[in-house]
Each structure stands twice: as structure tokens, then as C-alpha cells.
């Protein structure tokens, strides 16, 4: 499953090869509540076909109308602001006091588009500096701590690519669903699987498969605050090897699949090693939000829902009383 960035750049490249007139629209600033954050984007053709989004839909409708009527810029980038007046905010379904600033740029240069798409396909972050008046672009490597969007009177800088990392221990069916879905949520996904038979059956695209022991995989990744680690092998020996290193790391999320009983036993085992009570308390287990998930795709959704809640600092209080039934293995 493609990330939002990649889906936009795939469409852009395809349409450029077809010699179509198109524009890239990027959210650069928001004030008040907004459904999309700076860096959100869409690519729009002259006939109104688009991929991506910058709002809840009303602003996209206006951009389509402007494209079809020839009102979008042709030779330079243009800053467009929505929601300046109360009437305009109501028209475009923006919250009271909310405004949205967009940069609209005509796209004709395939070189930088190829560079960005290649970087995203290679699971790398890349920054593009755009000269607003000349449309000249320059691309350089970026990292997860870089600001997503910066703009001044002359230049727009945007970072593209996966800003988060997910290490999955185990190459089973649940891992495959989780890996696919996570890519759409801006994760660079790696799967650690030391068992040869499981490696041979793995067929998920655009995922780094690591045929090594779990503790070595965690150490090699050097987890930071943009990293999540989830153990899904159903094998306590393999899962615990990963957790012993992951719980000491800076990863923002460390979780393990299993029933409440299994996770209670796992915590007892972990306490026998050089982990503090605080480190063991970091373990999310049973993994995922308690939404009653049972099947592999449902479990993957529950895990990603918990990751989203943590990334957005938004505890999922409405599900706290539901039983965690996602793991049927005891």
C-alpha cells in the first residue's frame, strides 16, 4: 500500500510522461483546526482529475474549478490563502478563525519528480527547495528531525518520505497486513525474521526483510523517538530477545502480541534480566487498542490505531472498557 506522498508522485510522474498540464498543491501553513497538516499535498490536472488532498473536500472543489477555468498559475508558484473572511471560512467549511495557506506550482520538470519518487521508494527522506519565482528545484537528503515545511518570500522547502520507522519481529500473516497498512501511514517498515522457512514465504513488497536475530535487528536499527517496535512471532524466545533491547531504547512504542496471561508471564521473564521496572512498564501488551480484534487484519488495525493515538497524543478513552480479544493464542 503506497504512502500518501508516493501515490501523489506516482500520479505526477505518469501525467508528466503523458505531457499533461498539472499543478502540485502543498499545504504550507494552517491556523486553527485543520483536517490536513503542513506538507499535505495533491497533484491536479487541467481537466480536474486529482490525487491527494489538502482539506476536507471543499477547497479541492475550488482548485478543480480554477484549473478548469484557467485561473491557476502557469509560470511561477503562487500562494493562495483560504478562510481570510468569515464568509469564505463558511464557504470552504473551515472552522471559525481557521485559515489555510497553499502553494500552487505548475509542474513541468521531471528531474526533481524522479529524484523524490526514487528517494521515497528507497525509504529515504529527501528535501526539495523550490524557488517560487523561477520554479527551479534543488533536492538534498533530509532526516526525521527536519521541519516538514518552511517558506519565505523567495523559497519553499518541503521534506518528503517516511518520517517514522516500524520494526516488526516475525514474518507471519499479521505482520504482512501490518506492514502493508503502515506504509500508508508514513512508516518505513522493516521485518525481522530469523527463521528461513518464514523468510521464503514472505511476499510483501517495499518492506526491508532482515534475516537476523531479533536483538541484533533492534540494535542495528538504533531506535529513536520516531521508531515503533512490535513483536509478533508467537515464539517467546524470539519476541523476548527483541523486547530486551527494544525496551531499553528510545523507541516511542514497544509492543508484543499475546493474551493477558502470556503478557503477564512475559513481564515476569523480562524482570529476570537487566531491565528496570520502568522499562518493563513501557511494554504495550496485549498489543494494540482493545477493539475486539481477532483476525490478522483486525489485529493490524488495532496496532496501528494505538500507534496513531500515541503519535497524536490522543488517548482512545472510548475503548478503554472493551476486552482485549485480539490474541486467541494462549
pLDDT(152) > 70: yes
Same domain, 152 and 170: no
From 136, 160, 184, the end of a domain falls on 160
150 and 173 share a domain? no
Alpha-carbon distance 52 to 11, whole Å? 10
Q: Is-contact 27 45, C-beta < 8 A?
A: no
Q: How confident is the model at residue 85 (pLDDT cuts 50, 70, 90)?
A: low
Report the greatest alpha carbon distance in the chain: 70
Residue 300 domain flag: yes
Q: Would you say residue 225 lies in a domain?
A: yes
Whether 40 and 141 map to the same domain: the answer is yes
Question: Which pTM value belongs to this model?
Answer: 0.80
| Same domain assignment for residues 82 and 226 | no
Q: What is the DSSP letter of 17?
A: H
Region 222-227 average pLDDT: 93
- Distance in angstroms (rounded) separating the CA atoms of residues 201 and 196: 9
Q: Which three cell numbers stand for residue 88?
A: 469564505
Q: What are phi and psi of 253, to 5 degrees?
A: -150, 130
Determine the pLDDT at residue 257. 94
C-beta separation of 267 from 242 below 8 A: no
In the predicted model, what is the mean pLDDT of residues 23-49?
Answer: 90
Does the structure show a pLDDT above 70 at 95?
no
**CA distances to 20, 170, 177, 194, 211 from 200, in Å:** 42, 13, 17, 11, 10
Work out the number of other CB atoms within 10 angstroms of the CB of residue 323: 9
Which whole-number Å values give the CA distances from 191 to 46, 69, 180, 212, 293, in the listed order? Answer: 41, 48, 11, 10, 22
pLDDT at 3: 82
**Parent domain of 216:** 164-319
Domain limit, last residue, from 160, 185, 213: 160
How does strand 50-52 pair with strand 126-131?
unpaired
Per residue in 172-213, pLDDT tens? Answer: 999 999 999 999 998 999 999 999 999 998 988 789 999 999
Is residue 326 a part of any domain in this protein?
no
The verdict on 149 and 187 lying in the same domain is no
Q: Are residues 12 and 156 in the same domain?
A: yes
The answer to whether residue 324 sits within a structural domain is no
pLDDT at residue 82 greater than cutoff 80: yes
For residues 273 and 303, membership in a common domain is answered with yes
* Same domain (yes/no): 199, 88: no
Is the domain of 193 the same as that of 274?
yes
Q: How many CB atoms lie within 10 A of CB 295?
A: 13
Task: Give pLDDT tens digits for 59-77.
Answer: 899 999 999 999 999 999 9
- Give the residue carrying C-alpha cell 502480541: 257
CATH number of the domain that residue 225 is part of: 3.40.50.720
Peptide bond into 286 cis (omega under 30): yes
Does residue 329 fall inside a structural domain? no
DSSP 144-199: TTS-SEEE-SSEEEEEES--EEEEEE--SHHHHHHHHHHHHTTEEEEEE---HHHH
In a domain, 40, yes or no: yes
The total domain count for the chain is 2
Residue 250 is given by DSSP the state -
Given 160, 186, 210, which residue is the final one in a domain? 160
Residue 33 covered by a domain = yes
Amino acid at each position: 500500500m503506497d504512502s500518501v506522498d508516493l501515490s501523489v508522485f506516482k500520479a505526477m510522474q505518469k501525467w508528466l510522461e503523458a505531457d499533461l498540464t498539472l499543478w502540485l498543491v502543498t499545504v504550507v501553513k494552517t491556523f486553527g483546526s485543520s483536517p490536513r497538516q503542513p506538507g499535505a499535498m495533491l497533484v491536479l490536472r487541467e481537466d480536474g482529475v486529482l490525487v491527494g488532498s489538502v482539506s476536507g473536500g471543499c477547497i479541492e472543489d475550488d482548485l478543480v474549478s480554477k484549473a478548469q477555468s484557467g485561473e491557476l498559475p502557469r509560470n511561477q508558484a503562487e500562494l493562495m490563502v483560504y478562510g481570510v473572511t468569515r464568509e469564505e471560512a463558511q464557504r470552504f467549511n473551515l472552522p471559525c478563525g481557521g485559515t489555510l495557506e497553499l502553494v500552487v506550482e505548475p509542474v513541468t520538470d521531471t528531474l526533481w519528480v524522479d529524484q523524490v519518487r526514487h528517494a521515497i521508494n528507497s525509504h529515504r527522506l529527501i528535501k526539495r527547495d523550490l524557488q517560487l519565482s523561477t520554479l527551479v528545484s534543488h533536492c538534498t537528503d533530509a532526516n526525521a528531525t527536519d521541519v516538514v515545511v518552511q517558506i519565505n518570500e523567495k523559497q519553499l522547502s518541503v521534506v518528503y518520505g517516511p518520517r517514522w520507522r516500524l520494526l516488526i519481529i516475525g514474518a507471519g500473516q499479521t505482520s504482512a497486513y501490518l506492514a502493508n497498512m503502515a506504509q500508508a501511514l508514513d512508516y518505513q517498515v522493516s521485518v525481522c525474521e530469523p527463521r528461513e522457512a518464514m523468510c521464503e514465504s514472505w511476499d510483501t513488497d517495499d518492506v526491508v526483510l532482515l534475516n537476523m536475530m531479533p536483538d541484533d535487528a533492534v540494535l542495528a536499527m538504533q531506535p529513536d523517538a520516531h521508531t515503533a517496535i512490535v513483536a509478533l512471532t508467537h515464539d517467546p524466545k524470539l519476541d523476548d530477545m527483541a523486547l530486551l533491547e527494544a525496551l531499553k531504547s528510545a523507541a516511542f512504542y514497544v509492543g508484543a502480541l499475546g493474551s493477558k496471561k502470556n503478557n503477564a508471564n512475559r513481564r515476569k521473564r523480562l524482570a529476570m534480566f537487566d531491565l528496570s521496572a520502568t522499562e518493563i512498564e513501557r511494554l504495550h501488551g496485549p498489543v494494540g487498542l482493545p477493539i475486539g480484534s481477532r483476525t490478522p487484519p483486525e489485529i493490524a488495525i488495532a496496532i496501528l490505531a494505538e500507534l496513531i493515538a500515541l503519535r497524536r497524543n490522543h488517548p482512545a478513552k472510548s475503548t478503554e472498557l472493551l476486552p482485549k480479544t485480539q490474541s486467541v493464542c494462549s
